[in-house]
Chain A
């Protein structure tokens, strides 16, 4: 481990050795791909699912609060393994890509093709821009603290702006039966859902303590603060799950 070992010229792996080392790349990437499409998607569907499924749940208060908070979990845990152990700066992007692959397949083949909800009603939210920034911050800073604070904040704050181009058009107001609705509301009313009465939606309804138009930035900053705490929590949880301990019996 002195300078001497660096003098050996680098040689490409060939033959069986190359095949072996590539076989272990599968262990990390292909396996993780399928596994995290499965488990991260399960986690997201059962914690923020309803907001993510339906256009008329994507509000200004709850959706931007809960989505980043629940979606920073696996990225932090996977980064905690892939970056320190393998110097792979793609933990968050891997997780979020897996999630999007899983959700898109299901939205299209189940929500749309099986039960005929229009795809525009069931578009998933994206966290890809947030994940790219999170990965970049970890890679550049190589610091858990810096990534927690700035990465966690960016992850949440970028959520609403980066989704706005997708979902903004559904906020166009429409006069419908003498009432003012958004296009998203009309989706909810028009394409009947057997188990979602309107009052079940957990969305902003206004309070006497809300001032002006500030619901979204407030939610985003609240989420940002919580994400800075969630990030290290899940970092250490990821580390704990990646234990190399053995036990004698069970």
Chain B
């Protein structure tokens, strides 16, 4: 009895020094993302009206097409860099990961997922529905409207990069996700990812089939289908929680092998 108490006390003290729960990097990333998107929103307030109404005008090139030619390569580089970095720094001896360290990594993964979720909010909610109102403001003369440049080619790639980062983090750091592929996690990442190629169909359809701007048109339902895959977050959550329960069972004994 005494021994257990001592151990619990020492574990609690050590817990103060060696924290497991640290969402600070996730909060900072989300904060940066918030500032970035608010900045984008202010930018479009000015340059949507000033330079975004006529895609044949030179100022459209300056303020909108240049934005697109900048963001796309940057996103491609970021996608490769994040995946490459996480793979390069992978845990090569993942079987040896201690329970306490595993718990810490799982919580880091939750930070990644929170960032992913936040980026999905901006892409799938704000910028998607925002496009509905820009559809009613211009008679489109290009696929690359200001709203599309921000929605399809900025906010969607960003959440795909976040999802890819979360997936790769789990795949390279956490034993349960590294040896086998979690089906839920795969759907959770790949479903929203598939929205990106679906944009091709969408742009093609709008360009070559004469369509009025019905937002609920069947052409848009591909986005809906792939959006459902976000529900797989609960599969990931259940897998994580199963593991957390396993790890926690021993908690009183050794405070996650501190």
Contact = CB atoms under 8 A, between A and B. Distances in A.
Interface of A: 14-17, 19-20, 23-24, 26-28, 30-39, 41-43, 45-51, 53, 74, 77-78, 81, 85, 102-103, 105-106, 109-111, 113-115, 117, 122, 193-197, 200, 237-238, 241-250
Interface of B: 11-12, 15-16, 19-21, 23, 41, 44-45, 48, 103, 107, 110, 113-114, 116-118, 120-126, 128-130, 132-139, 159, 180-184, 186-187, 192, 212-216, 220-221, 223-224, 227-235, 237-242, 244, 248, 251, 255
Contacts of A17: 251
Contacts of B232: 241-243
Contacts, number: 222
A157 B118 CA distance: 34
29 contacts: A15-B16, A16-B15, A16-B21, A19-B21, A24-B244, A26-B110, A34-B118, A38-B117, A38-B123, A39-B228, A41-B124, A46-B220, A46-B223, A49-B132, A50-B215, A81-B234, A85-B238, A102-B129, A110-B130, A110-B133, A114-B44, A114-B48, A115-B134, A196-B136, A196-B212, A237-B231, A243-B183, A243-B235, A246-B183
A6 to B, nearest CB: 18
Contacts of B231: 39, 74, 77-78, 237-238, 241-242
B120 A34 contact: yes
Give chain B's interface secondary structure class: helix
Nearest to A17: B251
B255 to A, nearest CB: 8
B136 A38 contact: no
Contact of A247 (B11, B118, B183): B183
B215 A53 contact: yes
Nearest to B126: A106
A28 to B, nearest CB: 6
Contacts of A247: 180-181, 183, 186
Contacts of B116: 35
Given A45-B132, A241-B187, A50 B214 contact: yes
Contacts of A31: 110, 113-114, 117, 233, 237
Given A23-B107, A53-B132, A242 B125 contact: no
